[in-house]
Structures are given as C-alpha cells and as structure tokens.
A and B are shown apart, each in its own frame.
Chain A
C-alpha cells in the first residue's frame, strides 16, 4: 500500500531510534500515533500523530524518548496505554488475543510491577484453561495485577472478577497452601 509503513520499515525506524523491538517505548510511540495494528503505520496515523507530537525530524523524535519512557510510571496514561495495546497487538479480524501473545505483552507492560504476571503465565501454560484472552479478561487483569496482594488474602470471589481469575486464585492458593485443599 502506497505511503504506509510496513514491518520492514518499522524495523528500520526502530533501529534508527536506537530502540529495541521488545521495549515498551516502541509501544508508547505506537500509542501516541494511535496505530491500529502492530508493525504498521498508515500514512494518516503517521502524519496526524507526528503533528500532534509536534515532531518533524528524527532528532526531535529521539529527544522525546525520555518523555515516552516516563509514560508507564503515570497510572492514568499507563492505563490508557494498557487498554490500547489489546487492540494493537491482536490479529485483525479476531476478537481475542492468543494466550502466548498476551503473556508476552503482560511481561512487557506489567513484568516488573506485579508478581502475579509470572504465576498467571504459568497457570495459563500449565493448566491451559483457555486458548485466548478476551477483552474483558485483558482489561480486568490490569486491576487484578495492581490491586490484589501477593497472598490473595484480599481477593474477593464475590466480586465481579472474570471466572478465569477465580480459577487462577484457587489454583494458586492450593499451591501456596496444599494442606487446605
């Protein structure tokens, strides 16, 4: 498609910015440009996005990187970024995210924020309760990861958590204290 940036262009763009493909900053830039799908920028996304950022040259964009790196530390902005990434990462035409992709994304976004990310990933790969993560589960996980304590004592089954989380907590509690089960 004429005028659009494709995955090859994207790789070059990222290396020009001296960033790693797996860095959260790349995600932040895509979010700033409101890119609809991973690995692509349409001409319109690019033009409007850069204009909004008031960026016209590569050095200008590079100069913005420290600012982008701060985004995950701001809870409000981070929440927007988190929600945005579901649509950004999932394959077009599908409603849900593959479990594997979801696990990678959680590691990228929440990896150093919550101890639940790792054990949830273990739960999903070992028990394989689901093949895909739907939008509700994705969105709820942010709150789960940031509010529920490590030992789950404050997890309330009577709350509106998705059933998948109930199952996870039950699985995890059994592991923490096998005597109780």
Chain B
C-alpha cells in the first residue's frame, strides 16, 4: 500500500493538515488496512517539519498569544495543528455517538466497548505521530499554566471521548451494565468481560481536573459505583425482605452468607478493588443490620437446640456490623448462667441436703466444658464471649441452689471434692486403675483451675465489676488445708505426686502466699519422719527393745497447721505414759524451749485383744486415743460405770460419749443399767462373745454430726479471719495514704483482698466503724466522707 506522496511544504498549514488528516483518519477508521512504517514516519516528519518551521503564524492565533510569544522571542509552532486535531476528534466522536443511538442494553455495551478499544488503540498511535508536538509545544503550554485546557495528545483523545461521547451515553451504558449485573444476581450467565471493559473505560476516563497527568476515580465513582451500590441496596432490600418472610432465619443466614461471598467475588472478578468497601458495607447493612433484630431473636432457639453451625454463621454475620454481637453476648451469658443454675438445681433435688462434692463439681465443670467448647468453635474464641462465659460461670459457681445465700459453700464443696480425689479410696484400686484415677484427678483439677484462672485474668480487665464475681478463695484454702492436714495426719493421702501437683497448681493460680502454709505442712511431715528415726535409734541404745512400744509421732508447727488443742483433759493410760515421757525428754534435749502440745483427739492406736472367745489369735482393734484410754481399763476389770470411766480417763462429756458410743455400737462393750450412752449409773461391760469376720476392726470413726460441727466451725473462723484481714488492709492503706475518701478506701480494700475473697461493702463499713472506735482512723473535720490515719 505504500505510495510515494510528496510531503507538504513545511510552513503550509492547509497542506500539512490535509496530509495529516488523511493519515489520522486512516488510523481511526481503517487501521485494519494497516499502516506502514514509512507512512507513519512521514506523518511524524510532517508534524516535526511544521513545528520547527520558524514562520510566525497569523490568523489562527489569538492576539494575546501572539504578544506572549513575541515577548518570549521564541517561536514554537503547534497550536493550529492542535486545534485542528481537536476539531477532528470532535467530528469523529460525533459520528460514533450518532451510530450508538441505534443500540440498546447489551448491544450498546458491545458497541461501546468495541468503539472504546478501537479509539484508545488508535489514539495511542496518533499520540506517537504527534510526539514532537507533545514534547515541545504541549509541554511548554502546560508549563506556562494552561494545564486545564492543553493536554498531551493521548489525554486529549480521552478528554474528547469524555466530552463528546461519554457525556451523552454513560447513562444508558451504566443502566445496561446494572441490568446485566442484576441478571447475573438472578442466576443467569452473563458475559462478564463486557462489564470489565466498561469498568476499565470508566476508570481510564477519570482525569484529574487540575492535573490531567494524574488519574482520579471520580468518573468511576460517580457514574458507576454510586448508582451500582444504590441498585445493590434496592435489589437486596427487596430480596431479603421477601426471603425472610418466607423462610426460616437459619436459611436466611445461609442465603445472606452466600450473597456476601458472591459480592466479594464480583469485586474480584470485574470491579475496581476500591469498590469492595462501599459495596460490602452496603450489603452488610441491607442483609445483616436491617434484619439484626430478627436474627438476634433466633439466637436463643439455636442455643437451646445446640445448632453449632448456625450459631457460627450467626456469629460471623453479626460480627460484620457494629455492635452486632452485643445482644448475643449478653443473651449467651444469661443462657450459660441458667444452664449452670438448672444443672445444680437438678442435683440439689436429687441429692437433697448433702450434696456429693464430686457430683457437684462435675456438674459445674460439665457446663463450663460445654459452653467453653461452643465459644471456641461457634464464636471463634472471641474475647467478648469468653468474658460472658466467665461472668456467667462466676455467677452460677458462687450463687446457686446448693450454695443458697452463702458464697462460701462452693469453695467448701470444691475442697471436699479435692479431698475425695486425693484420699486413699476405700475400694483400694488396682495399680493401673490408680493411675487412671489420678489422671482423672489431675484433669479435673486442671479444668477447675482453668476456671479459676479465667476469673483471675478478668479481674484486671473489668475492674468495675470485679467485686461482684470473685471467688471466695480463702474459704477453699481453709477447707483444703483442714482436709490436707487430716490426710497427712491419718496417712490417708493416695499419692505424694498428686498432692504436690495440686499444691503447685494452687500456687500458680493464687500465688506463693496462698500455698506457703500448705507447703510448710509437707516440710513438717518429712522432718517428723527423721525425728521418729532418731528417736527409735536413741531408744534402742538405752532401753530394752521389748520395752519399746511401736510408736510414731508427728511434730507439727502450730502456725502452719489448722489444728487446735483438744478441748478436753485426758489421763494418759499407764501403758503408754513411759513412752510419752521419754519422747518429751528426747524432744526437749533436741529443742529446748519448744513446747509440745499433744493433740490426743487426733491420735490413734492399735490394740491387740485376746479376750474374745471367738478368735484364738485375737482381734486387732484400731481405736482413737480416747477409746484406748477406755479399753485399757478392761485389762483390770470387766464392768465399769459411766462415772468410773469418766473419772479414770478424765475426759469431758463431749469426748467420752462419742468414743463410748462407737464401742457400744460395735458390741465390744455392752451397755446395761441404762438405755443411752452417758446416762448416769449406766454400766459398760466387756463383751467376751464379740464376733467379727475381720481380724482388724476399725473403731476410729467420725460421727456425721461431728463433721457438720467441724464445717460450721470452719466457716466461723473464716468470718473472723476475714474481719481481721479487712481491718489490717484498712490500717495498711490508711497508714500509707494518711487521708482518703471513703469510696476510694473501699475500692482499695476490695482490690487488695479480691484474690482471697470478695469483701462485702457492709462488712468493710463495719470494720471502718471498729477502727474509728479503736481510734486507728478518724473522720476529717469539715470534709464529707473523708478519713485520716491516726498516728
């Protein structure tokens, strides 16, 4: 197609433009015919020649510009060519626009994208044809401040498209796009590449008004995105309202979840990435927020039927909108609380007054386990739900049917539960079974401490609600140490390892101070073992071995053990008094100045009895020290009156009656001359006809009533301890702060004590009253609610 056409003379505008127009026209309209390199070079050269011709043009220039140029003394040609090009583009685009009017909807989109592609490709060629103009005249004009109406040629082409094409057709084009998207939403297959091209065209037309070289998204945002998001809102509003009225909420949630996923995919597929935010947030509003109320309503149902999948879906949907989860969190808290309370209520109904600690604790842990799992799976372990769970647990652990009004019942039962796990079981399990039991123990304890730990960490987070939910850890400690003492003294602990692991867990949960006394108890145990060995050695050196009773003693420091001196006097039977004296002497020689208090109420003995006819080898009676005191009398006689026994043992009534009762009940002694043990004049004679299948008979048992008294006493000492702790805390705080507001003082006391127990406000106030009276603190004259420390 090459044709040698003579180039127009350099300064002839008409000829030059004629030549150029011919070429440009081919580029825009008949590019498929091809454009040779030579032709392209010719076009370029013509532009170059014209722009470099020094002749000053007249006529086409405005006077201003003429003066301007004259002033600069330079001659840059180009404005005529530039203006002719503007005119050409205007005419060219007018023709395209005219043709577009015969198309509608999808065909319009096809036409638009086809023309757009053709136009942009051609424009980039033309841009190169006018390179010289771009580099010099345009550059200069822009530098001179005509940024707003002089552009590089490619940009000029886009501006022209926007002005002469886009301006007239964008409305229809956009409508067609929206229709297409709607059809896709309705499930039809559409040509997505069409939309992608339109979007690209809209984005390309985003020319910054102030600086044409910069791209702005204004065109896309205003002419496409805004109407698109609006159409989306209308579409989903209608759809969701219809769907929700005809289907269940779980189905709706599935629908909403799918729709949200579809829209996210849509952005990926053919929209500009910045549309993600406005589109998705609009969808969240229409699909989730606008229906939040009914979705919330459904939550309880899903909880009741344990629909984990739906719960998770609900969680993910509502997590998308602000405050969407709050109602769920509070409902969840209430639900867990109710579940916990009703689980305990069931137990209370089944078991009545005396609740088995294991049943109780297992029920608590089961509720916690179940809902903890739900939080982890359905609610992705979200912090708000964790907090709700903790709050609910704290509530039903401390205040439930079994606890009634006292928050200290739970810790007591927990401590008893631990005791039952750590004590040697009566069943005496096989070796491998024992292992299982212990593993179970540790696992339960771990769960319990996990609960405790949760309580702990939350204290920091929610200072304000702190004193409502704290565990009475001091009660647990009291009961635990009591029962630990008993296990150690009676040698009934199942495993040293389990004991140690329990202590270390307690330490982890509540701190060193909490367990220091417990740990000292273990120290005393091992010291006692050494002491016994030493004593035995000493005795073997100085005495006839036959003289030596089988004797074992625990020496325990009074401060660390929750043990009290006996409330009754006791005459030590002659048979053991020698050993008693020897040990006293031995101990004084080792530690002079230390005083030994003998806790006979905890002592026990084994008696070998050969007086019964039924057994030739005799029975071994396991008895308490007091029972031993009674029974040893029968070495000297067969029958004694109550008064005689009381006088010889010197025991108080509340000690001798239970001891005797068991002996009578076991038929070792026979009661006569009275109907009740302890009646005056009643007589007790040795029952030589006593029979038993066992050779070893345990008579050292605690009565039920004794246990109850013990529990009440422990609770009482806890109250006393608390009063002292609160007073000590107040004095400590006031001593450092000197003067303090009432409310701040309360808060401070609560903060200081919360790891042990939750002080009640009236109790703190009572302590303040006491300290005012004792003049540790006083009211500050003239300042309301202010206390000061009295030095």
Contacts and interface: CB of A to CB of B under 8 A. Distances in A.
Interface in A133-147: 134-136, 139-140
Contacts of B773: 95, 134-136
Interface string A110-137: 0000000000000000000000001110
A163 interface: yes
B117 interface: no
A160 B783 CA distance: 11
Contacts of B746: 158
Interface in B732-791: 742-743, 746, 761-762, 765-766, 768-769, 772-773, 779, 784-787
Contact of B769 (A139, A159, A162): A162
B302 to A, nearest CB: 38
B762 A160 contact: no
Nearest to A160: B742
B743 A139 contact: no
Contacts of A134: 769, 772-773
A135 B765 CA distance: 16
Contacts of B769: 134, 136, 162-164
A163 B742 contact: no
A98 interface: no
Contacts of A160: 742, 768, 779, 784-787
A166 interface: yes
Nearest to B768: A160
Contacts of A158: 742-743, 746, 761
A95 B770 CA distance: 13
A139 B782 CA distance: 12
B297 to A, nearest CB: 33
Contact of B785 (A95, A136, A159): A159
B766 A163 contact: yes
A136 B769 CA distance: 8
Contacts of A135: 773
Contacts, number: 36
A166 B784 contact: no
Q: How large is the interface on B (under 10, 10 to 19, 20 to 34, 35 or more residues)?
A: 10 to 19
B737 to A, nearest CB: 15
Contacts of B779: 136, 139-140, 160
Contacts of B766: 163
A163 B787 contact: no
A166 B768 CA distance: 14
Contacts of B762: 163, 166
Nearest to B771: A136
Contacts of B785: 159-160
Interface SS, B side: helix
Which has the most chain A C-beta neighbours within 10 Å: B765, B768, B786? B765
B765 A163 contact: yes
Contacts of B786: 160
Contacts of A164: 769
A151 B746 CA distance: 27
Contacts of B772: 134, 136, 162
A139 B779 CA distance: 10
Contacts of B768: 160
B624 to A, nearest CB: 43
Nearest to A143: B784
A166 B769 CA distance: 12
A142 to B, nearest CB: 12
A159 B742 contact: yes
Contacts of A159: 742, 784-785
Contacts of A139: 779
A87 to B, nearest CB: 14
Contacts of A157: 761
B790 to A, nearest CB: 12
Interface string A152-172: 000001111011101000000
A166 B743 contact: no
Nearest to B775: A135
Nearest to B765: A163
A136 B765 CA distance: 13
B777 to A, nearest CB: 10
A166 B765 contact: yes
Interface in B406-441: none
A157 B773 CA distance: 20
B142 to A, nearest CB: 73
A96 to B, nearest CB: 8
Nearest to A162: B769
A159 B742 CA distance: 7
A166 B762 CA distance: 9
A157 B761 CA distance: 10
Nearest to A157: B761
Contacts of B787: 160
A100 to B, nearest CB: 20
B554 to A, nearest CB: 44
B348 to A, nearest CB: 26
A155 B779 CA distance: 19
B271 to A, nearest CB: 58
B126 to A, nearest CB: 83
A157 B766 CA distance: 13
Contacts of B742: 158-160
A32 B107 CA distance: 111
Contacts of A162: 765, 769, 772
Nearest to B763: A163
Nearest to B772: A136
B749 to A, nearest CB: 13
B333 to A, nearest CB: 26
A136 B787 CA distance: 12
Contacts of B784: 159-160
A157 B772 CA distance: 18
A140 B761 CA distance: 19
B18 to A, nearest CB: 97
A14 B786 CA distance: 41
Which has the most chain B C-beta neighbours within 10 Å: A135, A139, A158, A163? A163
B417 to A, nearest CB: 36
Nearest to B773: A134
B735 to A, nearest CB: 18
A95 B742 CA distance: 24
Interface string B634-656: 00000000000000000000000
A162 B765 CA distance: 7
A164 B769 CA distance: 9
A168 to B, nearest CB: 13
A90 to B, nearest CB: 14
Which has the most chain B C-beta neighbours within 10 Å: A134, A136, A140? A136
A134 to B, nearest CB: 5
A135 B589 CA distance: 54
A146 to B, nearest CB: 13
Contacts of A95: 773
A127 B766 CA distance: 18
A158 B784 CA distance: 12
A158 B743 CA distance: 7
Interface string A37-54: 000000000000000000
A79 B253 CA distance: 71
A134 B772 CA distance: 9
A82 B458 CA distance: 49
A95 B787 CA distance: 20
B744 to A, nearest CB: 11
A159 B762 CA distance: 11
B619 to A, nearest CB: 59
Contacts of B761: 157-158
A136 B773 CA distance: 7
Interface of B: 742-743, 746, 761-762, 765-766, 768-769, 772-773, 779, 784-787
Given A134-B772, A136-B772, A160-B784, 6 more contacts: A134-B773, A158-B746, A160-B742, A160-B785, A162-B765, A162-B769
7 contacts: A95-B773, A134-B772, A139-B779, A159-B742, A160-B779, A163-B762, A166-B762
A-B pairs, 10 with minimum CB distance: A160-B742, A160-B785, A136-B772, A163-B765, A134-B773, A163-B766, A159-B785, A162-B769, A163-B769, A158-B743
